[in-house]
Amino acid sequence: MVMEHIENNGYREIDSVAPRDRYARGWHCLGLSAPYKDGKPHSVRAFGTKLVVFAGEDGELSVLDAYCRHMGGDLSQGEVKGNSIACPFHDWRWGGNGRCTEIPYARRVPPIAKTRSWNILDQDGMLFVYNDPEGNSPPAEIAPPRIPGVASDDWTDWKGFRQIVVQTNCRELIDNNVDMAHFFYVHGSFPTHFRNVFEGHVAAQYMNGLAREDIRPVAAGGAPQLIGNTSKAAYYGPAFMIDELTYHYDQFDMESVLINCHYPIDLDSFVLIYGVLVKHSPLLDRRASEHMAESMGRYITKGFEQDIEIWKNKTRIENPLLCDGDGPVYQLRRWYEQFCVDVADISADMVERFEFELDMTTPVETWREVVSEGLALRSAEASR
């Protein structure tokens, strides 16, 4: 625990209790599914252990515990044989359902020869794995929603799909769902509307924003100038966010879908995964539309890198000191808690509907002054 207080002077104690020794129950995206379908085993460190991901000759993906139940060989270093993964140590074969299918040097397979098989979902070009400390199967109603733009001629393919290891607990990422003010100071966006709605397994953020004129580059040669954006970003479960994001330019709008998701490596690190689909604009030809999508992918990458720099240097705070311009941090963490307890222990206040809309009057007035001062300074520097 990190503490920083002087009781006689009334300083507030910073409480950074270690994260709960448990991984969230729910669907977690392991990235695009196509790279896992190359007929080779793939090693993934997740949920404090190692997994092996492979596709059999039938093309079906499977996820198993990576360590062979026989003598501990690493299945991810083995070989795909038929629809099974063969251990490199003694060639025991394991099927996608976790059962041992063959031991070449034995007359029979022990009836108890079984390893853990993980529930998976291959959907919209992404591979999901379901984690549940209690070992229950995933309820149908919490499956990640489909993304209509995938495989549509009206939309691009996935752009900027990246995976980055972040050395902190994944709850630090979840807190961003209610953190309105950091968009101005960290990302150079100017929020003008901000609202949260939590209900059931969904936590949504609605935001309208303007691009900060004092720091945005001036478009040259008639290129489109970014004006702002409209966003509906929702976590569906503890680890998979879909952001329906429209960028407003001076000449047109660009509709996009941003995927922001993660899976924990252990309690102190996670893999951040993100990518974007962009709807082709009728005002642009396909080449120009693809170029805009790639630019948006780079822009989004820059935003996540800004967050990562903050996460690398901050401390975990269980009792943040909040003001009236902050979002519902404690309510969001209460919502997130439903995924970290047994199903029988989920309480009504974790899942019942909660709505909160920030009064943006003060921040908008304050930030307009900041932007005006920045523009005046930039104008003065340009005239020298």
Percent of the chain clearing pLDDT 70 (strictly above): 97
Q: Is 381 inside a domain boundary? A: no
pLDDT of residue 264: 97
Domain span including residue 352: 159-373
pLDDT of residue 22: 92
Averaged pLDDT for residues 134-159: 92
3-state SS, the chain, equals CCCCCCHHHCCCCCCCCCCCCCCCCEEEEEEECHHHHCCCCEEEEECCEEEEEEECCCCCEEEEECECCCCCCEHHHCEEECCEEECCCCCCEEECCCEEEECCCCCCCCCCCECCECCEEEECCEEEEEECCCCCCCCHHHCCCCCCCCCCCCECCCEEEEEEEECCCCHHHHHHHHCCCHHHHCCCEEEEEEEEEEECCEEEEEEEEEECCCCCCCCCCCCCCEEEEEEEEEEECCCEEEEEEEEEECCCEEEEEEEEEEEEEECCEEEEEEEEEEECCCCCCHHHHHHHHHHHHHHHHHHHHHHHHHHHHCCCCCCCCCCCCCCCHHHHHHHHHCCCCCHHHCCHHHHCCEEEECCCHHHHHHHHHHHHHHHHHHHHHHCC
Residue 212 pLDDT > 80 = yes
Q: Are residues 186 and 94 in the same domain?
A: no
Q: Are residues 258 and 177 in the same domain?
A: yes
pTM score of the predicted model: 0.92
Number of folded domains that form the chain: 2
From 82, 112, 142, give the residue that closes a domain: 142
The CATH number covering residue 137 comes to 2.102.10.10
Q: Are residues 132 and 95 in the same domain?
A: yes
Q: Are residues 33 and 113 in the same domain?
A: yes
Averaged pLDDT for residues 101-106: 98
Averaged pLDDT for residues 170-180: 94
- 182-208 pLDDT, tens digit per residue, is 999 999 899 999 999 999 999 999 999
pLDDT of residue 3: 45
Q: Is 150 inside a domain boundary? A: no
- 273-307 pLDDT, tens digit per residue, is 999 898 988 888 888 878 878 887 788 888 888 99
Percent of the chain clearing pLDDT 90 (strictly above): 74
Q: Is 61 inside a domain boundary? A: yes
From 107, 142, 177, give the residue that closes a domain: 142
- 45-80 pLDDT, tens digit per residue, is 999 999 999 999 999 999 999 999 999 999 999 999
Q: Is 4 inside a domain boundary? A: no
Q: Are residues 176 and 240 in the same domain?
A: yes
From 117, 142, 167, give the residue that closes a domain: 142
Q: Is 55 inside a domain boundary? A: yes
Q: Are residues 208 and 117 in the same domain?
A: no
- 3-25 pLDDT, tens digit per residue, is 444 445 677 888 877 777 899 99
Q: Is 88 inside a domain boundary? A: yes
The CATH number covering residue 165 comes to 3.90.380.10
